[in-house]
Chains A and B, each alone.
Chain A
Amino acid sequence: MQTVTSPDVIDQMTPVPFRVRSVREELSHTFTLELEPPDGEFEFLPGQFTMVYAFGIGEVPISISSSSADRSTILQTIRRTGAVTHALGQLKSGDYVGIRGPYGTPWPMDEIKGRDLLIIGGGIGLAPLRPAIYHALENRKDYERVVVLYGTRTPNEILFAEELANWGARTDCTTMITVDAADRGWNGAVGVVTRLIGRVGFDATNTTALVCGPEIMMTVTAERLMEGHSMAPENIYITMERNMKCAIGVCGHCQFGGKFICTDGAVFPYPEVGELFEVKGV
């Protein structure tokens, strides 16, 4: 049995210093840290997260947003929402952060080989999905159709806009973007992301959906896929977020019903957590 004082736990709770190679401002409140592992290599799977420590301030769970094929650096895309993320946003090239991980379950990229992928992101939820998109495009023959649907508030808040445009320009990747509100400078779709689902057309029996965004967005998206398009719940995967502290299933901060988000997730097949979305206060 693991206890909080066991050597294993202490080892896993010790951050490793990663050097900040660059800081990229993505949006007004969102930035990406490019981090170098101390021994030059860091292995992870698409969908996993790390605990990022701003020295002297605190630690936050952040999904990795880079390609798992590139082990020399990792990208972590962060929104400034509190003391720790604001401190991380002040970092400069050459500074250091503490990293623990990688943690959590990955997107099921091996299990879904040979299927169509419907990847649906909302807001900053595109960041945890980006490694899955990279993986699908880097291993394009392993998957049938690849569709990326992305929704956000306004045209000024499109995360990874350049890459979305590049993916959309490919002949082997369908990409659609929608925003909640715009003016005539925007020539794309306006409306919530679920309205894009009906426009792409897909074979629900051979499609797996990977969904990430705020919980209400994931709930409504899953409902639309199941009720509107007869997609089986087990073919829908979502990634959850909670206030993780230990990230190794010891402290219980991220408990969600009978699950620990940090070790049982953060990526879940929808049937494992779907019912909990309907329970108030969980």
Chain B
Amino acid sequence: MTEGALVETLAAHDFFAGLSPDSLASLAAIAEKVEMEPHKMIFEEGGHADAAYAIVDGSVALEMNMAHRAHHIVQTLHRGEMLGWGWLFPPHRWAFSALALDATQLIRFEAGQMRSLWDEDCAFGYEMMKRFAHVMTDRLAATRLQLVDFYADRY
């Protein structure tokens, strides 16, 4: 995929919507398109978190491996969502495994380059951090609802 095509793909992705052409071009310069076949692992729980991923198409399951229950799916992510933030903070480990549920298209950003991009342009980095914070709070809220047993008896 050319850099121009990557810019177009990023501009159409919900997470990157509204970013300036310069910002999109900066991101496209460190991005690559990745195609995953169904039921292929994207990354493994506990592994080195070396990339950020944007889901362009398809679905991804986030899994936890527990002693009594292997491959426990805690959430699925879909087109227009970001996958993983373990790369953002030390020790840069994945908290979950990520499995492509169907044919999945991703945009992959190498983690070190992504962090450098943000450090070099703090305004852009702040904008990106705000967007990631929104993703995190949204998923935290969803997790809280799962914890309170959202579908318990009606009242």
Contacts and interface: CB of A to CB of B under 8 A. Distances in A.
Q: Do A and B come from one complex?
A: yes
Which 5 A-B pairs rank lowest in CB-CB distance, beginning with the nearest? A123-B151, A241-B154, A190-B76, A184-B71, A190-B73
A180 B76 contact: no
B78 A199 contact: yes
Contact of B142 (A153, A195, A241): A195
Nearest to A241: B154
A164 to B, nearest CB: 15
Interface in B109-155: 142, 145-146, 148-155
Given A123-B152, A214-B151, A182 B78 contact: no
Interface of A: 79, 81, 122-125, 151-153, 157, 178, 180-184, 186-195, 198-199, 213-217, 220, 241-242
Contacts, number: 88
Contact of A180 (B63, B102, B146): B146
A189 B151 contact: no
Contact of A192 (B79, B101, B145, B153): B145
Interface string B45-68: 000000000000001011100000
Nearest to A220: B145
B76 A191 contact: yes
B154 A213 contact: yes
A79 B153 contact: yes
Given A192-B145, A216-B150, A183 B72 contact: yes
A interface, over-half SS: mixed
B101 A217 contact: no
Contacts of A178: 76
B55 to A, nearest CB: 12
B61 A151 contact: no
B50 to A, nearest CB: 25
Given A184-B61, A191-B146, A217-B150, 11 more contacts: A122-B150, A124-B153, A153-B151, A157-B151, A178-B76, A181-B73, A181-B146, A187-B101, A188-B76, A198-B80, A199-B78
A184 B63 CA distance: 9
Contacts of B150: 122, 151, 180, 192-193, 213-214, 216-217, 220
Nearest to B78: A199
A215 B155 contact: yes
User: Which of A184, A190, A215 has the most CB atoms of chain B within a 10 A radius of its CB?
Assistant: A190
A79 B154 CA distance: 10
Contacts of B59: 189
Nearest to A243: B155
